[in-house]
Structure 1
Amino acid sequence: MKFSVSQSSLERALAVVTKGMASNSTLPILSGIHIIARPGAIELQTTNLTISIRHSVAANVEEEGETVVAGKTLQAIVKTLSDAAVSFESRDHIVVIACEKSRFRLNTLDAADFPEFPSYTLERSIELPCALVGAMVDKVYKVTSKDTSRPILSGVLLSVHENTIRMVATDSYRLAVCDSNTETSGADEPFTAIVAGSTLHDVLSLASDADSMMMGTNESQVVFSFGATTYVARRIEGTFPNYKQLLPSSCGTSVTVDVETLSAALRRVSVIAQANSSVRFDIDVEGEVMRLSASSPDQGDSTETVPVRAEGESMSIALNYHYVFDCVNAAATDSQLTLELQNTMQPGIFKSYGQINYLYLLMPVRM
């Protein structure tokens, strides 16, 4: 195998495929990058047996072939090289990498031992705008559960119907729902899939430079394709919780507050809530203010009052400020946030409206 490729192109390609490498595997081959040289291009492949990624790069290929190189080592080398042509030549389990005055000799692994890239036949597929979907993923993926015993809660329910995209995530303590309208391709019938939140986040970070991506599914796989990249992951099987039954049809109190004002006030008040994550929200409808307070037996207490627009009855609720911060950060691109309450012991529901409509339901904590 012998080829040359530009350093900048190779560095970008490695940033993509290294997302698929196994980090703590007992199999060294899974920590490697499978390099395949074909006329006019090289293909890089990685897998951790849960996800598989391949990416093609234009290259001057003098001799076809394939090999497997340690991924972290190769990426570290390429990052340090000048922006010039990088040549590779592989012989007898050794690859020689040269760029201007730099030269490296690396041991390689047998390409025959590298897992074959997954084959797939898609049952459904759809074309989605990357920028919009990426913004939606940012609003929901932190709400996915990290509990491996309930894999369905680690996923995001993604549905597309009649040009409406919706994403839903829950960890059983909170629920995030966002939707937006956009022109979609291939969605004549409802498209639904449950995809790991970490997978969606990784894919959209890799596709940040692409205008659109194809997403397809079959019984066991979910496939993403954008530019020169293909990303294949296992599909989460099971039935997503019926989140709609958690959403009340009415509320007793509605409060609208400036997002930046709430964020700053919460940041100050929560300094006292380090040992106790509870922050109390006291809503004075007549005075149109909301009082945030936190207390700690060891440190003392803190309070801050913020102006609001309020309707309904005055009410109080205590919420986990870490979870409220996640909501406020997700709504940071919006100017206002609405908090709807039924009573002290029922969930609080935050809502914001814009290009992406956002709902965040949060269970209360004991006051």
Structure 2
Amino acid sequence: MDGTEALMSIGTFARPGGAGAVRQVAPAVASAPVREEFPVLGCVLIDIERQEVRLVATDRYRLAVRALRPLSAEGGPRRVLVGASELKDVASWAGPLPDVDIEVDRRGVRLHGGRAARALPTVDETFPDYRMILDDLPAARHRIIADRTALRAAIAEAGHDGPLTLRTDERRLTLAFRGSATATLPAVCTGAPVRIAFDPGVLPPALDAGVGPDALPEISSPTRPVVVRPADQGSFTTLVMPVHEAPTAA
């Protein structure tokens, strides 16, 4: 932990903001084998600064960030790490409550709701500098607005192993495995036509974490992280790393 020594009270979170944020971010933590080697990747960062609280998780190939605005806040900036499983457990407890107060100090994190309270253990690890990653992102050159559910279903129906390639023109988004098109969806695509490949195991969870009818991938280049966000929820952002496109059959 770092920040001021004084108690940090993050006022009141109204339902369902905090619990919903945990549901969006926690799936981005690393798998069990990766956590064994890098325990910090099994954690969620709670980053408190300037009347905003960010929940952040990453598995190195995906980075999920959800910003929350508490109803009230006091104290200085602070960053704490908590285990994803413990955070999900506390979020389930807090979900039915109309509002929850969160306190952070050197002793850890405590949540208060109604007449009950829960402690949330903290983890003494160093989380990756996600702000540097976000600040280093180049401007998007290509944007796609597509039906989130239809895109997710098309990927699942294809059922192929290996990289999934997305190709765009002005009004269509084409999905292909190893050069063979498997689905074409209507989409609004700005910028020049682009083709970019993803691990099918990484892109679908980024789509699942969104809300609303549309997904909005923003692409700077086929080799840089892609921003995937719900078109109507600017407070949630997922970065997904592309992969090398699979070679086509001769």
Q: Name the TM tier (shorter chain).
A: 0.7 to 0.9
Is contact 2:217–2:228 with CA below 8 Å preserved after alignment?
yes
Partner of residue 347, structure 1: 225
Match of 2:45 among 157, 162, 180: 157
Partner of residue 144, structure 1: 29
Q: Match of 1:251, SS?
A: coil
User: How do 1:202-221 and structure 2 match up within 5 A?
Assistant: 202-221=89-108
User: How do 1:56-95 and structure 2 match up within 5 A?
Assistant: none
Partner of residue 258, structure 1: 147
Structure with the larger RCO, 1 or 2 (CA within 8 Å, 6+ apart): 2
Q: Match of 2:96, SS?
A: coil
Using the TM superposition, give the Cα deviation of residue 231 of structure 1 relative to its aligned residue in structure 2, in angstroms: 2.5
Distance, in Å, in 1 between the alignment partners of 2:70 and 2:105 is 24
Is contact 1:130–1:204 with CA below 8 Å preserved after alignment?
no
Match of 2:17 among 132, 139, 148: 132
Offset from partner CA, 1:103-150 (integer Å, 9 cap, x none):
xxxxxxxxxxxxxxxxxxx83332323410111111110111241332
Partner of residue 320, structure 1: 199
Is contact 1:178–1:356 with CA below 8 Å preserved after alignment?
no
Give the unaligned 5+ runs of structure 1: 1-121
Distance, in Å, in 1 between the alignment partners of 2:28 and 2:67 is 16
Is contact 2:101–2:112 with CA below 8 Å preserved after alignment?
yes
Structure number with greater Rg is: 1
| Cα 1:351/1:304, change in 2 over 3 Å | same
- What letter is aligned with 1:154? G
Using the TM superposition, give the Cα deviation of residue 172 of structure 1 relative to its aligned residue in structure 2, in angstroms: 0.9
Using the TM superposition, give the Cα deviation of residue 344 of structure 1 relative to its aligned residue in structure 2, in angstroms: 2.0
Partner of residue 175, structure 2: 292
| TM superposition score normalised by structure 2 | 0.83
Offset from partner CA, 1:5-51 (integer Å, 9 cap, x none):
xxxxxxxxxxxxxxxxxxxxxxxxxxxxxxxxxxxxxxxxxxxxxxx
Match of 1:306 among 185, 191, 205: 185
1:336 matched to 2:214: yes
Q: Match of 1:198, SS?
A: helix
1:268 matched to 2:136: no
Query: Cα RMSD (Å) of the superposition?
Result: 2.4
1:234 matched to 2:117: no
Distance, in Å, in 2 between the alignment partners of 1:182 and 1:218 is 17
- What letter is aligned with 1:222? V
Offset from partner CA, 1:74-129 (integer Å, 9 cap, x none):
xxxxxxxxxxxxxxxxxxxxxxxxxxxxxxxxxxxxxxxxxxxxxxxx83332323
Give the unaligned 5+ runs of structure 2: 1-5, 246-250
Offset from partner CA, 1:159-214 (integer Å, 9 cap, x none):
33444332111111110112133422x33433432221111111011122111223
Offset from partner CA, 1:226-284 (integer Å, 9 cap, x none):
23433223211233211123231402211111212212222222x2x1xx242111122
| TM superposition score normalised by structure 1 | 0.58
1:174 matched to 2:57: no
Q: Match of 1:240, SS?
A: coil
Q: Match of 1:225, SS?
A: strand
Distance, in Å, in 1 between the alignment partners of 2:213 and 2:75 is 34
Match of 1:194 among 81, 84, 89: 81
1:360 matched to 2:238: yes
